[in-house]
Amino acid sequence: MMSASLLVTLGCSFLVSELTDAIQCLKKQEFALVLVHLAVTIYFGMLYAVLSGLLFSMLIFIVDYVSHSGVVQSATSELKRSTVVRTNEE
């Protein structure tokens, strides 16, 4: 009984320390995914947690991908001129 309570205490302290570290380095969406994944694991089990994690990860990827423009850089010939000096024959 004593070892079980020690294991639960250490597990909870480890979980809290990891969550406080994660909130500092993850975006809000990603941290929400961690909390949802944790809650689904507790209430429904690992299989549903993995499936929901995949689903929410795909959703976050789609939202991030749609928010970026497909054009990274645009340039015209007016902005970039040649610096080579050519003769009239060329």
State pTM to two decimals: 0.56
- Residue boundaries of the structural domains of the chain: 27-66
Select the more confidently predicted residue: 68 or 20. Answer: 20
Cα distance between residue 81 and residue 76, in whole Å: 9
pLDDT tens digits, one per residue of 36-83: 888 999 899 999 999 998 998 898 888 888 887 766 666 666 666 777
pLDDT of the residue at 20: 86
pLDDT > 90? residue 90: no
Cα distance between residue 9 and residue 23, in whole Å: 21
Select the more confidently predicted residue: 55 or 29. Answer: 55
